[in-house]
């Protein structure tokens, strides 16, 4: 297909519970690669998220509203099935450490087996965000630690409403 007619749709899936600056770094870099980036919140009944899916989607929409090629959506079931429904050919995943790579490689190979026409693209976490995870942010916050600079201000405000520090 000629370059001028190509329309690359990528999906950046995750739980985003809560959204961090590491996620936003990947989104910012992803919008430069894809013509359309769908940030997709996983609906997982087996986990007990701090924020419901609708609120996580609202936080993402608020933080990415300045991008013209980002769409916020949610999905359950197989990611490759969602990608097919959305005509996406790329799955964007972030890698912070070797341990992330091992897990992500397994997922990428399974997704390739299920949908050979959908590629997984790994992006290394930005150095400033390589230690940040949603789980760690929640733990630090619960223990009364400072999370400014790790999450957007709106997310921090929602955390304060949901989880008073030290709770």
Catalogue the active-site residues.
23, 47, 96, 134
Half-sphere exposure of 149 (CA within 13 A, CB side): 5
Distance of CA 97 to the CA centre of its chain: 16
Task: Give the Cα-Cα-Cα angle 78, 79, 83 (nearest 5 degrees).
Answer: 125
DSSP H helical segments within 35-152, as ranges? Answer: 53-64, 79-85, 98-114, 134-142
| Longest Cα separation, the chain | 56
Query: If residue 14 lies in a helix (H) or strand (E), which one and from where to where?
Result: strand 9-14
Please tell me the distance from the alpha carbon of residue 38 to that of residue 44, in angstroms, as a whole number: 18
What are the C-alpha distances in Å from 96 to residues 15, 22, 103, 116, 140? 16, 9, 11, 25, 18
């Amino acid at each position: 297909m000629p370059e001028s007619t190509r329309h690359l749709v990528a999906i950046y899936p995750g739980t985003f519970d809560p959204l961090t600056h590491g996620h936003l770094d990947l989104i910012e870099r992803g919008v430069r690669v894809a013509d359309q980036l769908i940030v997709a919140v996983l609906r997982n009944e087996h986990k007990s998220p701090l924020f419901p899916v609708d609120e996580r989607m609202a936080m993402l929409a608020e933080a990415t509203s300045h991008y013209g090629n980002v769409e916020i959506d949610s999905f359950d079931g197989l990611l490759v099935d969602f990608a097919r429904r959305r005509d996406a050919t790329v799955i964007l995943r972030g890698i912070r450490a070797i341990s992330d790579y091992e897990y992500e490689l397994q997922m990428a190979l399974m997704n390739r087996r299920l949908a050979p026409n959908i590629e997984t693209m790994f992006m290394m976490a930005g150095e400033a965000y390589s230690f940040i995870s949603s789980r760690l942010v929640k733990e630090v916050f619960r223990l009364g630690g400072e999370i400014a600079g790790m999450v957007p201000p709106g997310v921090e405000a929602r955390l304060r409403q949901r989880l008073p520090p030290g709770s």
